[in-house]
Amino acid sequence: MEDIYILGIESSCDDTSAAVLRNGVLLSNVTASQEVHRAYGGVVPELASRAHQQNVVPVVDQAIKRAGITKEQLSAVAFTRGPGLMGSLLAGVSFAKGFARSLNIPLIDVNHLQGHVMAHFIKESDDDNHMPPLPFICLLVSGGNSQIVKVNAYNDMQVLGQTIDDAAGEAIDKCSKVIGLGSPGGAIIGKLARAGTPTA
C-alpha cells in the first residue's frame, strides 16, 4: 500500500501551524507564535492576519523539511475552515488552495473544533495505539469555544452542550491576565501544570 502524506495548515487565531502526517503518524509539527499580541493583552485580529501571511510559507517549508519528504510526495492539503478569526482563516485557506492547486492534489477543509477532537487519533509512531475506544465523551476547551461532544466515530460527533457566552479558554486567558501570569493564559497555565507536582 502506498503511503499517504497529508499537510495540515492551522490559522484560526494567532498561531500559524503546519504538520505533516504519514498514514496518521505525526512526522512534523511547526508553529510560529505571534508575540505582537502580548503588548495588547489579547489577540488583535488585523495583526494576526498579517502575521499569518508572513509566517505560513516558512512554517509549511519547515514542516515538510522536518518530515523528511518533498512537497511532491504530499497526497493532500488540509486546512482549518473555521470557526476562527476571519482574516486569519482567509490567510490559511488562500495559501492552502494555491499550494494544493500547484501540486494538483486534493484540498480538505477541517472544522476547527472537530480538529481538536480528532487530535486524539494522531499517532506518534507506527505502533502507537493510545486512541480512546469509541464511543467516548470529549470535553473540548478551546480559546473561543467550549463543548461537550459525544464521539461515535471520526465522522459522527454530537454536541451535547456548549457555552453560550464566554468559553472556558477565554475565561482562563482573562484570569491569567488578571493574576499577572500573562497571555495566552491557557499555554502558560498548561506549562506551569506540567512542571508542577501531581501528588502535592
Residue 18's nearest CA partner among 65, 85, 73 is 65
Looking at the fold, whether 103 and 14 belong to one and the same domain comes out as: yes
In a domain, 178, yes or no: yes
Mean pLDDT value across the chain: 90
Which three three-digit cell numbers place residue 152? 461515535
pTM comes to: 0.85
Task: Give yes or no for a cis peptide into 133 (omega within 30° of 0).
Answer: no
In a domain, 130, yes or no: no
Looking at the fold, whether 156 and 79 belong to one and the same domain comes out as: no
Measured in degrees and rounded to the nearest 5, phi and psi for residue 92 equal -70, -45
Q: How many domains does the chain have?
A: 2
Looking at the fold, whether 112 and 158 belong to one and the same domain comes out as: no
Looking at the fold, whether 73 and 160 belong to one and the same domain comes out as: no
In a domain, 67, yes or no: yes
pLDDT tens figures, 56-105 = 999 999 999 999 999 999 999 999 999 999 999 999 999 999 999 999 99
Looking at the fold, whether 65 and 164 belong to one and the same domain comes out as: no
Which three three-digit cell numbers place residue 53? 501571511
The CATH number of whichever domain residue 75 belongs to comes to 3.30.420.40
User: Quick one: CA dihedral 161, 185, 32, 194, positive or negative?
Assistant: negative
Q: For residue 38, what pLDDT is reported?
A: 67
pLDDT tens figures, 154-170 = 889 999 999 887 777 77
pLDDT tens figures, 97-140 = 999 999 999 999 999 999 999 998 999 999 998 888 999 999 99
Domain interval for residue 185: 136-195
113 C-beta neighbours (distance < 10 Å), count: 23
